[in-house]
Structure 1
Amino acid sequence: MAIRQMVCRYSLHILVLIVIYTCFSLYYKSIPHIEEQFQSSITEEEQKLLMETARAFIRALDSANIPYIIYSGTLLGSYRHHDLIPWDDDFDILINGSFKNAVKRFVAKYDDSFALYVPDFQDFAWKYYRKDMALKTLPNLPFGWPYVDIFFFKENETHIWDDISHVSKEFTFRKDKVFPLHQRPFSSMQLSAPCNPLHMLNMYNIQSCKSRTMSHKHEVVLPRNYYRVVPCQVLTDFYPFVHHTKTEDGWKETLKVGDIVLYSIDVKEYC
């Protein structure tokens, strides 16, 4: 009899655990959550280090009077989030190729805490990074993370284009849609950006959020089956997104998380 009671009691406990697990699973599935690919890939401390590196590079450029343009994912982050794309892990800058020697001479020596990596071949971005992070993060590579990805452009009378050969055709832009440069918000900074940001973002679908194809933190290409594309709308309850409204003389950019308005700013009419 005692054994039978123990078996019944044990079976009841198992049944209760199954019910609890089932209820928890159903509850979890009913809660909106972010796919792994769209979760932040870096810690808060790592993000601070990335932004510190970006600020140091901008200060170095400004000290040498070298103009720059926020570029690629960083420009998209400014347009769509007024900050880093939440799941991004690097900072992209575009500079006129005529300033390469100036970047080598002045920027590399501006702050001894940072270093400039100049590759031996053209088709690779330069890197600006903290010296003390090199051996900690990417010990088998000649640079460290977090870093600023530095791209250069070539030009003619009407257009500029990325000087990395395999992307130059896609990343070609009209000068009258880039210059004069305007200031755009990025985190706590105001950074130089094209006067028509959408022109330099024409290869992106602004309403579609794409996961990373590369981990800069580990300097590896991510597997194709990891790649995801979702409507940005499904992420607006989790991350701040900029909502753009046309005004008489420009645009109103309102940063919101879900229905909560964080702030609004007015920006100039696009060129």
Structure 2
Amino acid sequence: MITNTSRPRGSVKLLSALFKLLAVFAFLGALIFAVRKAKPPYEWDLLLNTRGNNNSLFNISTDMFVVRPNLPPSALQLPDLKAIVWPIEEFSKQPLGMKDSKGGVLPLPEAFEPMTSWAQRRLLRNLLEVFSSQMFSNGLGDRFMLYGGTLLGSIRHHDIIPWDDDIDLLVDLDIRARMHVILKRLEPHYILYSAGSRDKFFAMFINDSMDAEDVEYSRRTSKYGWGWPFLDLGFYKNNGTHVYEIARSYGRYYSWPIDVVFPLYFRPFGKFWYPAPRDSVGFTRMTYRLSPLCTMNGYSHILEAKGPSGSIACRELNSRYAFVSHKLCGGTGRYSDDNRMIMGEETLFLSSKSASTVKLHQICLPVDRQNAIVDTYSMEQA
């Protein structure tokens, strides 16, 4: 008698399905492991807000954000700002600084409209990244910081103020001569222009035949010798107790207690990290008369003359431009070793007129403990 020892056809199909299911789980496990390995655990907590039990979040040292002279952000394990959601940017409809038939600059947009075209905004970002790269590669990464409207943009928008027209940096006066040598090597593609107590760093000039094209060149838009778009480089001195800017701005000199400024910490500006004052909010509050109003002071860096001016409640702009809210990370945060810094949570959001809010991204990063919770628009302590 011959006995049929083969398994029923249904059992074979079941085993085959089980093997396929196991293979899928194995693949997913390997994929998760690989992604987790590529992004350190704290980065998921800091950047994506998937905190789980928060163990990794509260084991993070705020010191990882401290700026070191020869370690650019790319050499550190800072959160990847390119991996998060950003708002759709608005740009001017045509390049600003274009000339009319008589050689004059065409009128600028109205207040609170974008003051750069797509290529001009891209050029500003490129100028900043080139400058930063040169400073860090020469061991000077902790001798410059975001300043003025650029620092305010980092705090309020995690990016350039949408209606701003330049980028402001504050540089240690003691390295000015060395900085000149470094940046002069980049000519003719990039140009450094000394303007008394300030310097301008910009791209090579556009050819007149390309005036109507949206390209990454600087333009002759004022009576002065530098081109626009540009980096506006101011300089500071440190007298041991205070840091002060050597040039007058808007009719006054600015100074800040040294512990408000140093050590420098990295802050987001667009999809990159840059050095900023330790207490950026406190620093900015000492620089500007902040209020719930967004203002344009009537000076154009494009023309180096009178420009658009006005004021409006920042809240009224929040349905068009994204703003940042500030609170403690994880609800409680974590202090630095000296108890001056704490992990704050900054959320970029749009708020429509119907009062609904769209959160774009959240980042946890070190902030001064006294200024961790502030009003989105006025920067006053909440």
**Interval of TM-score (by shorter of Structure 1 and Structure 2):** 0.7 to 0.9
Q: Does residue 215 of structure 1 match 2:300?
A: yes
Q: Does residue 88 of structure 1 match 2:173?
A: no
Change (3 A) 1:197 1:127: same
Partner of 1:20: none
Post-superposition Cα deviations, 1:109-140, rounded to whole Å, max 9, x if no partner, equal 14641010012x33xx2100001349762165
The answer as to whether partners of 2:299 and 2:309 remain within 8 angstroms in 1 is: no
Aligned identity (percent) is: 27
Greater shift after overlay, 74-83 or 204-213?
A: 204-213
Q: Give the superposition deviation at 1:166.
A: 5.6
- Aligned counterparts of 2:347 and 2:134: Cα–Cα separation in 1: 31
Matching residue within 138, 147, 152 for 2:220: 138
Q: Give the superposition deviation at 1:106.
A: 1.2
Greater shift after overlay, 240-249 or 66-75?
A: 240-249
Q: Give the superposition deviation at 1:58.
A: 1.4
The answer as to whether partners of 1:134 and 1:143 remain within 8 angstroms in 2 is: no
1:43 partner amino acid? S
Post-superposition Cα deviations, 1:43-76, rounded to whole Å, max 9, x if no partner, equal 1221111111221111122222222110000000
The answer as to whether partners of 1:133 and 1:145 remain within 8 angstroms in 2 is: no
Partner of 2:278: 195
Matching residue within 64, 73, 78 for 2:154: 78
Partner of 1:255: 348
Post-superposition Cα deviations, 1:249-270, rounded to whole Å, max 9, x if no partner, equal 2311000012111100111131
Post-superposition Cα deviations, 1:86-128, rounded to whole Å, max 9, x if no partner, equal 0001000101110111111112214641010012x33xx2100
- Aligned counterparts of 2:293 and 2:207: Cα–Cα separation in 1: 34
- Aligned counterparts of 2:251 and 2:283: Cα–Cα separation in 1: 13
Partner of 2:79: none
1:269 partner amino acid? V
Partner of 1:153: 236
2:361 partner amino acid? Y
Question: Tell me, what secondary structure is at the counterpart of 1:61?
Answer: helix
The answer as to whether partners of 2:261 and 2:283 remain within 8 angstroms in 1 is: yes
Change (3 A) 1:199 1:169: farther
Change (3 A) 1:168 1:179: farther
Matching residue within 269, 273, 286 for 1:186: 269
The answer as to whether partners of 1:64 and 1:107 remain within 8 angstroms in 2 is: no
The answer as to whether partners of 2:247 and 2:253 remain within 8 angstroms in 1 is: no
- Aligned counterparts of 1:254 and 1:196: Cα–Cα separation in 2: 18
Q: Give the superposition deviation at 1:208.
A: 2.0
TM-score (norm 2): 0.57
Partner of 2:117: 43
- The count of residues paired between Structure 1 and Structure 2 equals 231
- What are structure 1's unaligned runs of at least 5 residues? 1-34
- Aligned counterparts of 1:108 and 1:214: Cα–Cα separation in 2: 29
Question: Going by fraction, where is strand more abundant, 1 or 2?
Answer: 1
2:359 partner amino acid? V
Post-superposition Cα deviations, 1:195-235, rounded to whole Å, max 9, x if no partner, equal 1012221224153211252222222222xxx5212221111
The answer as to whether partners of 1:53 and 1:148 remain within 8 angstroms in 2 is: yes
2:132 partner amino acid? I
Question: Going by fraction, where is helix more abundant, 1 or 2?
Answer: 1
- Aligned counterparts of 1:55 and 1:211: Cα–Cα separation in 2: 26
- Aligned counterparts of 1:233 and 1:204: Cα–Cα separation in 2: 17
1:241 partner amino acid? F
- What are structure 2's unaligned runs of at least 5 residues? 1-108, 212-218, 335-342, 352-356, 370-382
Partner of 1:269: 367
Post-superposition Cα deviations, 1:133-171, rounded to whole Å, max 9, x if no partner, equal 497621653211110000000121110101004669541
2:237 partner amino acid? K
- Aligned counterparts of 2:289 and 2:274: Cα–Cα separation in 1: 21
- The alignment's C-alpha RMSD in Å is 2.1
Partner of 1:227: 309
